[in-house]
A and B are shown apart, each in its own frame.
Chain A
Amino acid sequence: MSVTKAPAAPREPRPDEPPVRQGRPYESARRYARWLPVAPGTVLLLLFLIGPIGYCVYLAFTDLQLTGQANASFVGLDNFTRAFGDEDFVNAVVLTLVFTLVSSIIGQNTLGLTLAALMQRASKTVRTVTGAIVICAWVVPEIVAGFLLYTFFHRRGTLNEVLDFLHLPDQNWLFTLPILAVSFANIWRGTAFSMLVYSAALSEIPDEVTESAQIDGANAWQRLIHVTLPMIRRSIGTNLMLNTLQTLSVFGLIWAMTRGGPGNRSETLPVFMYDQAFNKALIGYGTAVALLLLVVGGLFSVVYLRLMREEV
């Protein structure tokens, strides 16, 4: 393993070096040996990530059940046709879309940008305090956040207390609008990330640009639409991407707050998948749902790669 390396320049200027002259086997063996350090990580990834994904594709086409391994047989597209005819599945898809749209695309994104924009103008003390509080909500473990917001939205919880104080009608949030309650919980938990991304992006906009727009007579709103937003376009793309992927796979928060209930009114796809595989013992069917989630995540990832391409 300990191949002493001649002090040659390790970085050739050309990105694609021609293959080494054949006839020096030792030379090429050394060239491969130096890539050995990549092995441990690659093995882990193959075993525990790529392997399961492949297994996921296989399982999705079988009728495997929790009860035993012997009776799994290949059923083709049955799981998928069943899913699209399954009211509960359609409900889960709709709820996942609502959850993603409300909490990630609208909530975290807009709120994060608003916070970042205000922070640029605010005084240092207020900025620090607000930042600390918002980030605290992000760093607290998922399951704790779930419990906290459960108490907040509970029928006898703080939110109704506040509504009473303002003489507004109170609601049994977790019962009547559970999907909105978990969406707001996710906004509470995830806004910090967008805030940090946008703070970094806004701080890179040179003052002169906004100044000159102001001199040309653009009001604040026009400056935002025509100057600021186009300039942080890439950050917005990246942030939306990452937030959406994060939101697609939220399980613990919803599980701690509602367990997908009451009935199935807050059962997003991950919760539905878990429920089918473990409570109804239909591993094959649950995996088919998981595969659909993976495919959606994969498509998003490809878009994300396009955004990040010049980084590699």
Chain B
Amino acid sequence: MTDAPAPAPTPARTSPRARLLAPRTAVTGTPRTPRLTRQRRQRLAADAGLLVMAAAFVVPLLWLVFASLDAKAKLRVSPPSSPTLDNFSAVWTDEITFTPMLNSFLICGSGTLMTMVCAALAAYPLSRYRSRYARPYLLGVLFTTCLPITAVMVPVYSLFVQINLIDTMYGTAFFLATSQLPFAIWLMKNFMDGVPVVLEEAAWTDGANWFQALVRVIVPLMGPGITVVTIYSFIMMWGNFFVPFMLLLDPEKLPASVSIYTFFGNYGVVAYGELAAFSILYSTPVLLLYILISRRLGGGFTLGGGVKG
């Protein structure tokens, strides 16, 4: 399916044994050896296949870029005849952009901060001490990472109404922090296991207590790991629509994920160009953050062993 069909090997040159004995990397032969052409043909086929898929994937993203620059944006992808930034200046207002974005930053920022502080504190004993309760606790944490949060939202709504947390930004931040916490604890513990205990012992010898050791020795050493978990949590919260959609009512408090929906969704989506422009503004922070962590991890991002196969 993904391979170019192998050409029938000419028995003289490429008997299996010869192929086995040929060093894999040294392609010093003339470019006429069937081996090389086969590799090249495979590569071309793979390239072609990937480009076809990339084209299919890029179409909706192209619409986003084109429509945001097109004063008369339509539903279909078409390059703007005269690119303008009018759409951006149209949404560049308090009501559409600044208030929701600020709310998003407040809610997701404080939520991420809570998640990280709690996860770092909880991961420390789990990683450093032995106890018969540690394993069940971690298994419980891992179990909750998988629960569909969507399903909990109806009871959470009723609960928030009863304890007066409904329609408060800090209540929403608390809930978002909790929803990311199990995964963050799990990853932090894994990263912390990778920090040698010897360094901590040196700190203890110098008279540091566990908290000083954690803050001054372990956390700095876990820098890359912590950055990844922080940014990942932030990205997840930033894109979350359902939680603030359920827990916040006042338009003044809505984060961008919900305001984009109420603002454009309720008018049967007419201002396509403005919608596209605001979508770009709203997506930019997470795209930039993602680039930051993927750089940090050398291009790939597999959640730091969180999803090992």
Contact = CB atoms under 8 A, between A and B. Distances in A.
Contacts of B122: 37-38, 40-42
Contact of B156 (A12, A48, A248): A48
Given A4-B209, A41-B185, A142-B241, A251 B156 contact: no
Interface string A269-312: 01001100100000100110011011001101110110010011
A201 B158 CA distance: 43
A188 B60 contact: yes
A48 B178 contact: yes
Given A34-B129, A148-B64, A249-B151, A238 B309 contact: yes
Nearest to B64: A148
Interface residues of B, number: 115
A130 B51 contact: yes
A7 interface: yes
A7 B53 contact: no
Contact of A139 (B131, B201, B290): B290
Contacts of A256: 241, 261, 265
Contact of B59 (A42, A152, A245): A152
B204 A5 contact: yes
Given A12-B130, A200-B309, A312-B139, A144 B279 contact: yes
A49 B64 CA distance: 36
Contacts of B54: 126, 129-130, 133-134
Contact of A196 (B16, B235, B242, B301): B301
Given A45-B182, A188-B57, A251 B150 contact: yes
A241 B306 CA distance: 13
Interface stretch (B84-92, B220-228, B280-288): B280-288
B61 A137 contact: yes
Contacts of A238: 307-309
A141 B260 CA distance: 11
Given A130-B51, A130-B53, A136-B61, A5 B282 contact: no
Contacts of B144: 45, 49-50, 301
A83 interface: no
Contacts of B158: 55, 59, 64, 283, 287
Interface string B276-309: 0001001100110010001000001110000111
A201 B76 contact: no
Contacts of B49: 114, 118
A1 interface: yes
B151 A115 contact: no
B261 A305 contact: no
A10 B197 contact: yes
Given A37-B122, A117-B2, A188-B57, A10 B178 contact: no
Interface in A32-79: 34-35, 37-38, 40-42, 44-45, 47-53, 55-56, 59, 64, 69
A174 B309 CA distance: 37
B307 A270 contact: no
A95 interface: no
Nearest to A125: B47
A69 B161 CA distance: 10
B2 A44 contact: no
B233 to A, nearest CB: 13
Given A37-B121, A49-B144, A157 B282 contact: no
Contact of B152 (A52, A188, A237, A241): A52
B125 A34 contact: yes
Interface string B250-290: 00000001101100110001001001000100110011001
A41 to B, nearest CB: 4
A232 interface: yes
B50 interface: yes
B179 interface: yes
Given A144-B283, A151-B75, A252-B241, A235 B128 contact: no
Nearest to B171: A48
Nearest to A16: B132
A47 B178 CA distance: 9
B125 A35 contact: yes
Contacts of A224: 1
Interface of B: 1-3, 5-6, 16, 19-20, 24, 42-43, 45-47, 49-51, 53-54, 57-61, 63-64, 67, 74-77, 114, 117-119, 121-122, 124-126, 128-132, 135, 137-139, 141-159, 162, 174-175, 177-179, 181-182, 185, 197, 200-201, 204-205, 207, 209-211, 235, 238-242, 245, 257-258, 260-261, 264-265, 269, 272, 275, 279, 282-283, 286-287, 290, 294, 300-302, 307-309
21 contacts: A6-B204, A16-B132, A37-B121, A41-B185, A45-B144, A48-B175, A59-B154, A59-B155, A126-B54, A129-B54, A130-B50, A133-B57, A143-B258, A145-B60, A157-B76, A158-B59, A242-B146, A248-B150, A250-B150, A274-B154, A308-B308
